[in-house]
Each structure stands twice: as C-alpha cells, then as structure tokens.
Structure 1
Amino acid sequence: MPNSPRSVCVYCGSSAGRNPIYSRDARELGELFHKLGWQLVYGGGTTGLMGEIAKATMGPRYDGRVHGIIPSALVSKERNSKDDDNENDTSSIKSTELEDQIKMDVDNHKGSTPISWKFGKTTVVSDMHSRKRLMADESDAFVAMPGGYGTFEEIMECITWSQLGIHNKPVILFNIDGFYDSLLEFISHSIEAGFISHSNGNIVQVATTAEEVIQKIQEYKVPEGRFNLKWDDEGKPTL
C-alpha cells in the first residue's frame, strides 16, 4: 500500500450508532490515516463516529493530521476549566469523560459538541455552507461512513458535483455492516429507471473495510460520461 499522503474528507455521524462495529471500523480507518500520514478533514465534533475517527487519526501521541471544521452554532459553550483561555477547549477533561462523549447515544445528543486539541486542529466558521466549502477545498477525496441526514446530504452533494464536472475526486461509501445497502439499491433503481446513467453510477465506489477505503481512493478512476460543463470561476463551488 503506497504511502502517498492525501487529505480525506470523512462525513459521519455525531452519534456512535447502536452497532459497535461502526465505532470499531471508524477507529480502524483513523489508525490507517495516522499510519499513512494522511490528513483527516471532518465536521469537527468530538462525539460519536466523528470523535472516534478523529481521536484514532491523531494517534496515541497526538501527532496525527486532523482538521475539524465546525459552525459556531454547533460548538458547546460550556467552560470546562476556569483557567482555559479558550472556553470551547476541552483539553482539561479526563480521558474517561472524552470516551463518554464519543459514545453518546443519538437520543441524548443535543446537536452541539465540545472541541479539544486532542481531536486535532479546529476551525470554527459562521455557517454550514462555509463549513462544507472549506471541507471540500481541503480534501482530495470524500468518504461517507454511517450517519444521519447531514451525512447523506453532504455525500450526495459530492456525488452530484462530480456528475456535473465540478470535481473529479474519489467518492467512497464505507458500507459498514451493510449500512448503505438500501442507498445502493436506490441508486441501482434510479439507473434502471433512466435517471442516472450507468457510467455515472460508477462515481460512487463502495468499500466494506478500512483497508478497502484506502485502496478505493488510491485506485479511483474518474468515470466517463460525466457532464462536461464550463463553470465560471466566480461563484463556482470549489472541490
């Protein structure tokens, strides 16, 4: 497996999900990023699968490359230490408390998250559109792990922009334990129904292990038959 450093945007849930395999595979992918020296670009949270992959990519010595990008509205404003200059920095929280945050159940998640240098560098932006654009600008490839509405919306936008010729970067579904089987069935149905071409169906590549995610990124071939549109520089979404 050649060590060619990449910057990979991973979309995933801010909750851990009910199947422990989601967290396990998130950690495995993060550990591979750390080993390869690849940068993780992600949504900036420290809970759920976001926290799992960010922590694993940072590694035990906190020497990994992680860039979290998060809107200010999603950052928890609770101070964790009176001595902290950064009111959002949870670096003083004990490791056990960080683990509890990562494992947060979806029914107890209130939408916001603390941030910490232990999960990498964090850039706080003003809104969701700024977040998505910066994440795209920072990345050489896009991966979707299990998640909810936000994850679906983000990866579908990457797929659409590839079809429109806005970018030619790899798009990978990390189909952990069949999580994306229904979405893949829907894509196949759309192809058969005549709404997606067979060639554009190849925009989306599927991996079932962390190792296969790396392989799919490295071996990605841009599909033929995408739209060859001319986008003006001004106002063009940059990916």
Structure 2
Amino acid sequence: MKRLAVYCGSATPADERYMMLAHEVGATLAQRNIALVYGGGMRGLMGAVAQGALDAGGEVIGIIPEALAVAEIAHPGCTELRVVTGMHERKRAFVDLSDGFVTLPGGVGTMDELWEAVSWSQLGYHAKPVGLLNAYGFYDHLLAFNAHMVATGFVRKSHAGIILAETEVGALLKRMAAHEPHVPIFAMNAADL
C-alpha cells in the first residue's frame, strides 16, 4: 500500500484521545512510507492526521472542495493540495489516488465516505481494503448494525467482511495489507444475487 485515504471528522471533540489518535495514525503512515490522502482540512481530526504525517516527514495529499478552500479551512502544509468543485469529485479522487481506506472517528461526512467505500467495494467499483479504526469502542454500534444487516439478509454473507475493523492502527494496517478481494456483485451470476 503506497497511499491510503483516511476519513475522519473535521470537529475537535472534547475528549483529547481522538486528536492524539489521529496524529498517531498520520505519523504511523509516514513511518511506514504510506502517503496520506485526506480531506485537506486543518481543523479537528483531519488537521491532526495531516499534522501527524507531516511531523513524521510523510507525504500528505489533501483533496478539498473549493467552497471549503475559499473559507480558509485548507491545511497550508499539505505536500499537495487539490481543490475540486464538490464532494462527488472529492470522493472520486479518494478512490482514484488511494490503495485503501481507513476510517477514524467522525460524524455524518465520515459515515458518508465509509459507506460509499463499502458500497463501491460490494458492487465492484473498487477492490481495495476498507479499514475501520474502532478506537475506544467508537464504532461498536456501527459494527453491530453491520452484523444485523448481514443477519437479516440485506448484506450478503460473502460481503460481511468488507469492513476490516481493529482497535489499533498497526493491527488494522496489517489486515489491510493482507486483504483478499471478495466476489463483487458485478461479477456474480444472476442466481447468486
């Protein structure tokens, strides 16, 4: 894995552990010579993950919509900052530039990015690993809901393992590096659907 997209919140939560976690993830990627592709912001977890990578000498590629860049939210230290017209172009760039996806704690935008990565994997628009860093139990309920979707038949059992969840970044990166793509919907026979 040469580049990983990291999805995370632009908010700064009261619990400082989340900011420290994001900084650690950025630093870990840089130490492993994995470039960071992220939302381009300088605030919240976004800014912390970028700063962690930059502090450790890593490459940081920010993808930011024009409206946010104009509002002076863009991180000025990015190795490369790509300003795009909107969110759809931003998410397409994440897929095109990255060898996989890591989701840290975040809000609605982070959930949108995670579920799109999962959905596109399920369909066959990409065959890249989708990692979820479930630090401090933040995603326990999401993982339970994903299991519920599998149990009720709304997610195929063959796609139950798309989300690779771990509580520690090193373990998550190890699982992502060993990722074996599943059979996507586009490659299935009609009888399997």
Greater percentage in helix: 2
1:179 to 114, 138, 163: 138
Q: Which residue number corresponds to residue 102 of structure 2?
A: 143
* Correspondence for 1:33: 29
Distance in 2 between residues matched to 1:58 and 1:204, nearest whole Å:
27
2:38 corresponds to 1:42? yes
| 1:52 counterpart = 2:48 | yes
Q: What secondary structure sits across from 1:9 in the alignment?
A: strand
- Helix, strand or coil for the counterpart of 1:75? helix
Larger radius of gyration: 1
Distance in 1, matches of 2:11 and 2:129, equals 25
Residue 69 of structure 1: how far off its partner (Å): 0.4
Q: Aligned to 1:227, which of 175, 185, 193?
A: 185
Number of residue-to-residue matches in the alignment = 188
| Deviation at residue 184 of structure 1 after TM alignment | 0.6
Q: 1:7 aligns with which of 3, 7, 15?
A: 3
For structure 1, the residue ranges without an aligned partner over 5 or more in a row are: 78-87, 89-112, 231-239
Cα distance in structure 2, aligned partners of 1:157 and 1:52: 23
TM-score, scaled to structure 2: 0.91
Q: 2:14, 2:149 → 1: CA distance? A: 29
Q: State the match for 1:67 in structure 2.
A: 61
Read off the aligned partner of 1:226 and give its amino acid letter.
Answer: P
Counterpart of 2:185 in 1: which secondary structure?
A: coil
Identity in percent: 38
- Tell me the C-alpha RMSD between the 2 structures: 1.6
C-alpha change, 1:36 and 1:188, in structure 2 (3 Å) is same
TM-score, length-normalised on structure 1?
0.74
Divergent runs of 4+, >4 A: none
The match for 1:115 is 75
Could you tell me how far 1:229 is from its partner in structure 2? 4.1
Flag the 1:114–1:140 CA change in 2: closer, same or farther, 3 A.
closer
- For structure 2, the residue ranges without an aligned partner over 5 or more in a row are 189-193
Tell me if the contact between 1:25 and 1:209 (Cα under 8 Å) persists in the aligned partners: no
What secondary structure, in the 3-state scheme, does the structure 2 residue paired with 1:30 have?
helix
Give secondary structure in 2 for the equivalent of 1:44: coil
For the pair 1:189 / 2:148, whether they are aligned, the reply is yes
Using the TM superposition, give the Cα deviation of residue 18 of structure 1 relative to its aligned residue in structure 2, in angstroms: 2.6
